[in-house]
Structure 1
């Protein structure tokens, strides 16, 4: 009687553990990370060094030696208090705030409406209008400075806040960026709004504006910085001392008998609004990048 042999049992498939980097490879990677951290620290020190110098000089006594000769033994806020009595400094700060804040509000509102129309509405010449807006980004401001000044001067806008603000309200870059953001929104949102009977204004206010808050916050930072640090146009249109902005006023302080500590105090004051608005709104920069992938 012959016995039948059983089929061989397949060996269980062994699961290999995930390959771990060798010790030399880990050491090399850690060494590279340490050098990266050291390099970033050195670059950061070079970046903040001018700001530290401005703060130290702004808080130094008037008769203290300037950097880098010596660091003052005591710091004081007298320079910051004193600079408000120099010229029309409080009025310069007010002019800059009005110029920047009003421009931010109007630019974001008008640019968002234009972007919504260019992204979601169908009308003849839409693409031609879009490319015409984009083409204005290639025209340097210096090329349109004289014609713009002639128009504003003819309308009586020299040495006025409205003459300072009006030519800067048409922001093609803001329109283009918001339009790209609105284009990525799901079509189902707008279809649902039409089914519910929502008009264009309600759709814009209830759907578009809440969803584009990240890109609006990002643009608010850039538009505010553009206007707050603007020098050329305020220098041209603000010809009287009372019509100057803070940047123009700081430039004129160098021609007067004002100490270096007072000038640095004024520069420190001009830096504070930019720093605050960036601190409060910088998280929206990342949110705008993340939310740009909403359409899938």
Structure 2
């Protein structure tokens, strides 16, 4: 009995330090994540504090996370000053339409590259992926010239069309469709479905996680884009929220009202925060499925 007791208790004695070490590692990991989150949140908290502060009080002190002269006037008056409401609407229209068109176009291209065989397929696919290595700033001059030749500047089309060709989106969708078994397409063909019916009725529903991930990427990048709207949109009524807020910094009256400016920036970034909060699970799932991880 004593030998059996020693045999049974010895493993327990050896595993306790491992359990404690694992608990300590987990605690340090969570502490590091909390610190990293606070570092990321400090600029947001500072912007929130300034937006809740009185503009006159901010002329004396701005380096604080505590609102100076607490007021909601800045937040309530965001859309009543200038063309902020129009800029917000422009960003919403451009971002939503760009997202829909980009996801649809990339899904079609990815399906073609993954499931169809045609002459020059490898060269065409390599050419598409080569777009990932070209800085978008390097394409501004030819894009500006092309759109100017057809008199499309200061239009929604000029803000949308240059973005819908997304090499990263084509790559993600190609990776996903290449993992779909060929038996799925064969079953659809047996049921009498043609290529288009197979794509829209069978493949697209299967690709929903990857499409959501691509949609989030596209929406965030389009909403945050500053350089192309700055180049293409020269009329203030066609500014997006990013270029519109930047234009206010050149206005002395608006630049001195730091609380109002931060309130507009906070409202302008709110859609992105909501997208990540509500779709973060879909984003992680879509990326993992596109990369082929189990």
The reply to whether TM is greater than 0.5 is yes
- Pairing of 1:275-290 with structure 2 (within 5 A): 275-290=273-288
Q: Which runs of 5+ in 2 are unaligned?
A: 1-6
| Residue of structure 2 in register with 1:64 after alignment | 57
SS of structure 2 residue aligned to 1:119: helix
Q: Provide the C-alpha distance between the structure 1 equivalents of 2:217 and 2:112, rounded to a whole number of angstroms.
A: 23
Structure with higher Rg: it is: 1
The answer to whether 1:82 aligns with 2:77 is yes
Cα distance, 1:193–1:275 mapped onto 2, change above 3 Å: same
- State the match for 2:42 in structure 1: 49
Instruction: Determine whether 1:29 maps to 2:27.
Output: no
Verify the 8 A CA contact 1:185 1:295 in the aligned structure 2.
no
1:251 to 233, 246, 252: 246
Q: 1:141 to 1:23 in 2, by over 3 A?
A: same
Shift of 1:154: 1.1
Asked if 1:266 corresponds to 2:264, the answer is: yes
Task: Rate the CA distance shift 1:261–1:201 in 2: closer, same or farther, 3 A.
Answer: same
3-state SS of paired residue (1:282): helix
Higher helix share: 2
Aligned residues: 282
Quote how far apart the aligned CAs of 1:123 are. Answer: 1.2
Over 3 Å counting, the alpha-carbon distance change for 1:249 and 1:189 in structure 2 is same
- Check if 1:212 corresponds to 2:207: yes
Output the CA distance in 2 between the equivalents of 1:118 and 1:16.
60
**For structure 1, which runs of at least 5 residues remain unmatched after alignment?**
1-14
Match of 1:107 in 2: 102
CA offset at residue 73 of structure 1? 5.9
Match of 2:233 in 1: 238
Assess, with a 3 A threshold, how the Cα gap between structure 1 residues 149 and 205 changes in structure 2: closer, same or farther. Answer: same
Please give the alpha-carbon distance, in whole angstroms, between the structure 1 residues aligned to 2:250 and 2:178.
50
Give CA deviations for 1:180-201 in whole Å, capped at 9, x if unaligned: 1000001110111111111011
Change (3 A) 1:198 1:42: same
Cα-Cα RMSD:
2.2
Write out per-residue CA displacement over residues 105-132 of structure 1, whole angstroms, 9 at most, x where no aligned residue.
Answer: 0011111111111111111111111111
Larger mean CA deviation between 208-217 and 37-46 belongs to: 37-46
Structure 2 distance, partners of 1:138, 1:18, is 59
Q: Whole-Å Cα distance in 1 between the matches of residues 263 and 38 of structure 2?
A: 21
Indicate if the aligned counterparts of 1:186 and 1:295 stay in contact, CA closer than 8 A.
no
TM-score (norm 2): 0.89
For the residues of structure 2 that align with 1:223 and 1:18, how far apart are their CA atoms? 57
TM score, norm. by length of structure 1: 0.88
In 1, Cα distance between equivalents of 2:202 and 2:124: 24
